[in-house]
Amino acid sequence: MLQKTIHWFKAVDDVNNIHWQENSMCVIEVNDTKITLALNKQSIHAFAYKCPHAGGIMSEGFIDAMGNAVCPVHQYRFNLKTGRNSTGEDFLKTYLVEIRDSALYVGFEEKNWKF
Ligand code: FES
């Protein structure tokens, strides 16, 4: 049976101190891992720093009108929640996000097989 364990790390002490505009992205480092944060429709999303296709820096792309993160290199579009590419070829790694007492936490999933 596949068991998932989530390890939560505080990424930002106070989300109110993040000064960004709707549909913008930024890079932070959490648990020694660079990740991308995006603000879309009042929700914060966290996903991989680099595109799974050929390593484009996702934060240098943009969020399109449908709410997809668009890679700057070949313009692949990834769903912010699922990471699914609009053509189904690649998945962008996404991370869980929670806000607790104004602090932003990012969850790293660990999968273990238990027999
Ligand atoms: S490197 Fe991102 S779409 Fe090709």
Quick one: 2-113 is in which CATH superfamily? Answer: Rieske [2Fe-2S] iron-sulphur domain (2.102.10.10)
Domain residue ranges in the chain: 2-113
Residue 85 Cα, ligand 1 centroid: separation in angstroms?
Answer: 11
Q: Is 54 in the pocket of ligand 1 (CB under 6 A)?
A: yes
Q: Which residues pair with 78 in a beta bridge?
A: 69, 85
- Probe ligand 1: pick from 49, 50, 51, max atoms within 8 Å of CB? 51
| 15/84 Cα distance (integer angstroms) | 26
pTM here? 0.91
**Does the CB atom of residue 78 touch ligand 1 within 6 A?**
no
Residue 114 has pLDDT above 70, yes or no: no
Q: Residue 89: CB within 6 Å of ligand 1? A: no
CB atoms within 10 A of CB 77: 18
The span from the CA of 23 to the CA of 18, in Å, is: 13
At 43-93, the pLDDT tens digits run 999 999 999 999 999 999 999 999 999 999 999 999 999 999 988 778 999
What would the two tokens of residue 100 be? 């607790």
Ligand 1 atom with the smallest distance to the CA of 51 is 2
